[in-house]
Amino acid sequence: MNLSRSNIFNGIFVLFVSVLLFFRTTGKEDAFTTEGIHPMDYPRALIFLLFILGILIAFTKSKKTEEDRIPIVTRRTISMCISLIFFAILFEKIGFALCAFGGMMLCGIIMGYRRFVLLTCVSAISCACIWIVFTYVLKIPLPTGTIW
C-alpha cells in the first residue's frame, strides 16, 4: 500500500477535528427539543460522516505524479475568497435569497461555467430548496435582510 504522508496527516487532522466537534456537542443535555428530535442529532450525524471521511483520507493510496502539481493560489482562488467574504458581509443586509442566488451565480461564473440559463435555474432551485429545508424542516429562520 502506497500511503503518502500528506494523506495520513490530512486524515488524522480530519479525525481530530471530528472528535473535537463531537465532544463540543455533548454536555448540554438541557437543550430544547423540537418534535422529539434533539437539536444535536443533526450535527452528530455530520460529525460521524466527517470521521468516516478522515479514515478514508488517511488510508487512501496516493496517486499523485509530477504532472498533477497544481498551484494552490490562483486568480480563481482569490476571486472565490473575495466573493465569499462579500457573501458573508452582505448576508444579513440583503437577506438569504438575493445573497445566496447572487453568490451562487458569481461562484459559477468565477469557476468558468458559461451556460448562464442553466446556471440561473440551478442557482434559483438550489436557493429555494435550501430555504425550504431551513424554514420548514429544521425550523431555522433565514435572514430576510434589513434593506427591505
Q: How high is the pLDDT of residue 2?
A: 61
Domain spans, the chain: 5-63, 88-148
Predicted model pTM: 0.56
Q: How confident is the model at residue 67 (pLDDT cuts 50, 70, 90)?
A: low
Place 136 in a pLDDT band, splitting at 50, 70 and 90.
confident
Higher-pLDDT residue of 21, 147: 21
Confidence category of residue 11, pLDDT binned at 50, 70, 90? confident
What separation, in Å, do the N-terminal and C-terminal C-alpha atoms of the chain show? 58
- Which residue is associated with the grid cell 494523506? 7
Return phi, psi of residue 39, to 5°.
Answer: -60, -20
**Contact (Cβ atoms closer than 8 angstroms) between residue 109 and residue 132:** no
- 8-state DSSP, 35: T
